Amino acid sequence: MGEIVLRSDLHETLEKDAEREARSVNEIVNEVIERYLHERQLAQLDAEIAAFEKLHPELRQKHLGEWVAVHEQKLVDHDNDRAALYKRVRAAYGRTAVLIRQVTERPDNEIWIRTPSTGKVEQ
């Protein structure tokens, strides 16, 4: 990957803020980028939830009671065992946001996601 170059006005402002906060410019830039990536992943999960709801009638017919993984608005895997599904999803997609959810009668029940930042499953 190539070097990231900030505009001079941004760099100057960051240097002043970093000095005032007794931090490095790199710390501030990394914090801002981490926040930006987190917000993008949340937006991606919102899209996956919408896709799950759209796919729900078909999922209910074929996978009722199973856990499914939705990525890029498509069903990418399913299993009766949530932990086994989670392990496969993590191996296949790494830190990418993937919705993991159990197919129930209604599409708006409890949601389980693998958080990209920690890799842990949250409820």
Cβ(78)–Cβ(113) below 8 Å: no
DSSP state of 46: H
Task: Report pTM.
Answer: 0.72
pLDDT at residue 30 in the model: 94
- Rounded distance, CA 87 to CA 119, Å? 10
Residues of the chain with pLDDT under 70: 1, 109-123
Query: What pLDDT, on the 0 to 100 scale, is given for residue 54?
Result: 96
Residue 103 has a pLDDT of 95
pLDDT number for residue 108: 75
Report CA torsion sign: 99, 66, 76, 108.
Answer: negative
Distance of alpha carbon 87 from alpha carbon 23, whole angstroms? 38
pLDDT given at position 2: 82
